[in-house]
Amino acid sequence: MKILVPVKRVVDANVKIRVKPDGSGVDTANVKMSMNPFDENALEEALRLREAGTATEVVIVTVGSEKSAETLRAGLAMGADRAIHVKTEAPRIEPLAVAKVLKAVIASEAPDLVILGKQAIDDDNNQTGQMLSALLGWPQATFASKIVIGAGTIDVTREVDGGHETLRLALPALVTADLRLNEPRYASLPNIMKAKKKPLDETSPETLGVDIAPRLTVLKTTEPAGRTAGIIVASAEELAAKLKQAGVL
Amino acid sequence: MTTLILAEHDGKTLNEATAKALTAAKALGAPVHILVAGHSISAVAAAATRLDGVAKVLSADAESLAHQLAEPLAALVVSLAGGYDAIVAAATSTGKNTLPRVAALLDVMQVSEVSKVLAPDTFERPIYAGNAIETVQATGKLVLTIRISAFTATGEGANAQVETVSVPADPGTSQWLGAELSASVRPELAGARVVVSGGRALGSAEQFEAVLAPLADKLNAAIGASRAAVDAGYAANDMQVGQTGKVVAPELYIAIGISGAIQHLAGMKDSRIVVAINKDADAPIFQVADFGLVGDLFTLVPELVKALD
Ligand SMILES: Cc1cc2nc3c(=O)[nH]c(=O)nc-3n(C[C@H](O)[C@H](O)[C@H](O)COP(=O)(O)OP(=O)(O)OC[C@H]3O[C@@H](n4cnc5c(N)ncnc54)[C@H](O)[C@@H]3O)c2cc1C
Ligand SMILES: Nc1ncnc2c1ncn2[C@@H]1O[C@H](COP(=O)(O)O)[C@@H](O)[C@H]1O
């Protein structure tokens, strides 16, 4: 079984981002970038399936700028076998465009399973996996917290609003990973060195014949109305009195 | 110009998320139809007919829709889409699962988690865990998911007709095996007026329950949790509040033993009044709290329960 894992380079989850004062976007210059956390879960799961002998090859792919090669190297250092860089300097690539590019990659790679992150923590779109699955005509299981491979099928436990549910999908299938799927590994130093020699192929949306022009226009990006710190009360009694005063009880 | 809302329900009752999505949908300015898709859903469809301002309810009743699987549900919505200019769903786990499929099949971009409708084609939505707000403009057919904590629910007062629609054949590539749903007598987290949330500091599932339940009972509150508390097994996954969990905006949110990481704040910072109880006076949660209480939660929470008598 071959598994494809799409990964995205995003502002690190621990960075407190800054909105540019002119409303033109979020300042990403000189901030720490990392692999999207959910994509680490997706990759970790694929690696475990390979280590268990269920999968034979794990291929990672990203759609993004020159710099997103770093994210691919990080994924290779975690243990992916090879990487595909769909290079574009387009400032904004929407989930629909990413899904179309991935569909084109899948046409030649022919994986049996695609595992994506459930959501990119920059744009918080939560769309790409579902869109890709629709374009491929494949079954999907989003927000996965557990995966069990069967004979030509995959059972996926999903985190849903009311708790959990389990689906059985016919392969090929698409899964999006939630954070509780697993605990991603750190890349060891020897593996970081080895990753430099692993194959990293380059292509582009143009070569794949995919139009990635955005469909939505971002008019502006602003800071949310902030909350300000209130007061520290001295005791539980004072807190109770304040809450009564505020009329929330 | 008509808008179609995909109703949120559990097969028996219409979820309040639908009435909240309706408020957002009405701001588009066009007549609104509600699609109730499921199996044996006549009671849900009847409830939808009463929502104020609904022009028509479409009922799609088939076994293949019983578990709201994304493939048949999206195929149904796409089969109806020709008659609509906007397709809307609450950003619940079902809405988030289904609507991007619909958007891709219609070759349009979805606008996720709309928090404000500025004009019929212009929307605000939070990005970067709510640390920035993006204003986006769409052209052509709209596919929107609605952040329900940002909208009040539309009330009742209509008496719309129910029309039965046919259901496309199920591709049959996925099968529902079962569910483990949390049964709680408490108000639903997403719509509760008061939320009491616990973090890693609660230390165990037993203490989580023992410390928070009396306070939640007293306030008729829903119980929430931080990701750390859920990961540690103190609380169920559906109780997680935050960027990856539920987004809530109650009248009163009480964060107990929660540090206030940005991913947690993403799920609760639009609450009207925030209270924080934490032994670390420098915990970031105090920066967003209206009232802070510094000290050990294991003594302060029981004291608060007593003080509320
Ligand atoms: C991609 C991503 C998504 C995430 N999504 C979410 C999300 O949706 N929701 C979420 O909550 N987190 C999320 N997180 C995790 C988040 O970053 C934090 O790790 C998490 O919120 C911490 O939980 P906590 O506050 O309970 O634990 P901690 O940060 O460990 O805080 C515990 C707090 O309890 C206090 N404390 C300890 N003992 C006591 C005591 N006896 N009395 C009083 N106070 C005490 C401590 O001072 C501390 O402030 C996400 C992280 C990532 C990377
Ligand atoms: N530019 C990209 N390149 C590769 N994968 C991506 C890209 N954007 C999104 N993805 C994948 O799609 C998932 C969901 O992203 P989104 O729909 O943008 O929230 C991510 O977790 C990635 O697995």
Which CATH number do you get for residue B227?
A: 3.40.50.1220
Report which protein residue has its CA nearest ligand 1's atom 28. B259
Q: Is the ipTM of this complex over 0.85?
A: yes
Q: Does some domain include residue B183?
A: no
A residues 32-51 closer than 8 Å to B (CB): none
B174 forms beta bridges with A169
Q: Does some domain include residue B180?
A: no
Please give, rounded to a whole number of angstroms, the shortest distance from the CA of A144 to a CA of chain B: 12
Q: Which residues are CB-neighbours of A94 under 8 A, at least 6 positions away?
A: A125, A212, A214, A215, A216, B109
Q: Does some domain include residue B184?
A: no
Report which protein residue has its CA nearest ligand 1's atom 44. B278
- Rounded to the nearest integer, the mean pLDDT of chain B is 97
Please state the pTM of the whole predicted model.
0.97
Residue A66 burial (10 A CB sphere; 0-12, 13-18, 19+): exposed
Q: What is the mean pLDDT of residues B170-180?
A: 94
Six token digits for residue B189 = 């987290």
User: Is B50 in contact with B27 (CB distance < 8 Å)?
Assistant: no
- Residue span of the structural domain in which B20 resides: 3-164
B267 close to ligand 1 (CB < 6 Angstrom): yes
A120 close to ligand 2 (CB < 6 Angstrom): yes
pLDDT tens-digit map of B237-248: 999 999 999 999
pLDDT given for residue B44 in this prediction: 98
pLDDT given for residue B184 in this prediction: 85
pLDDT given for residue A226 in this prediction: 85
Total domains in chain A come to: 1
In B31-168, which ranges are continuous DSSP H helix? Answer: 42-49, 70-80, 93-105
pLDDT given for residue B308 in this prediction: 96
Tokens 């929330």 belong to residue: A248
Q: Does some domain include residue B177?
A: no
Taking CA atoms, B137 is separated from A92, B22, B115, B300, in Å, by 14, 20, 14, 48
pLDDT given for residue B245 in this prediction: 95
Are both B149 and B224 inside the same structural domain? no
Pairing between strand B142-146 and B86-90? parallel
Are both B68 and B214 inside the same structural domain? no
Of residues B101, B122, B273, nearest to A130 (C-beta): B101
- Considering B164, B199, B232, which residue would you say is the last residue of a domain? B164
User: Is A103 in contact with A6 (CB distance < 8 Å)?
Assistant: no
pLDDT tens-digit map of B115-154: 999 999 999 999 999 999 999 999 999 999 999 999 999 9
Q: Does some domain include residue B36?
A: yes
pLDDT given for residue B225 in this prediction: 98
B228 close to ligand 1 (CB < 6 Angstrom): yes
pLDDT given for residue B260 in this prediction: 98
User: Is A40 in contact with A80 (CB distance < 8 Å)?
Assistant: no
Q: How much distance in Å is there from the Cα of B25 to the middle of ligand 1?
A: 35
The CATH number given to whatever domain includes residue B153 is 3.40.50.620
Tokens 């859920």 belong to residue: B230
pLDDT tens-digit map of B94-116: 999 999 999 999 999 999 999 99
Average pLDDT of adjacent 10-residue blocks, chain A of 249 residues: 98 96 95 98 98 98 98 98 98 97 98 98 98 98 98 97 97 98 97 96 98 98 93 98 94
Angle between helix A95-109 and A128-136 (nearest 10): 50
In A8-124, which ranges are continuous DSSP H helix? Answer: 37-51, 69-78, 95-109
Q: Does some domain include residue B134?
A: yes
Helix (H, G, I), strand (E, B) or coil at B139: coil
By C-alpha distance, the chain A residue nearest B70 is: A140
Distance in angstroms (rounded) separating the CA atoms of residues A216 and B291:
40
Total domains in chain B come to: 2
pLDDT given for residue B261 in this prediction: 97
Q: Does some domain include residue B41?
A: yes
pLDDT given for residue A57 in this prediction: 98
pLDDT given for residue B183 in this prediction: 84
Are both B135 and B208 inside the same structural domain? no
pLDDT given for residue B1 in this prediction: 83
**Rg for chain A, CA atoms, rounded:** 21
Please give, rounded to a whole number of angstroms, the shortest distance from the CA of A194 to a CA of chain B: 33
* Pocket perturbation via mutation, ligand 2, pick of A4, A7, A8 by most ligand atoms within 8 A of CB: A8
Distance in angstroms (rounded) separating the CA atoms of residues B29 and B119:
9
pLDDT tens-digit map of B37-78: 999 999 999 999 999 999 999 999 999 999 999 999 999 999
Chain A residues whose CB is inside 8 A of the B11 CB are: none
Are both B8 and B64 inside the same structural domain? yes
- Considering B164, B199, B220, which residue would you say is the last residue of a domain? B164
- Residue span of the structural domain in which A236 resides: 2-245
pLDDT for B171 beyond 90: no
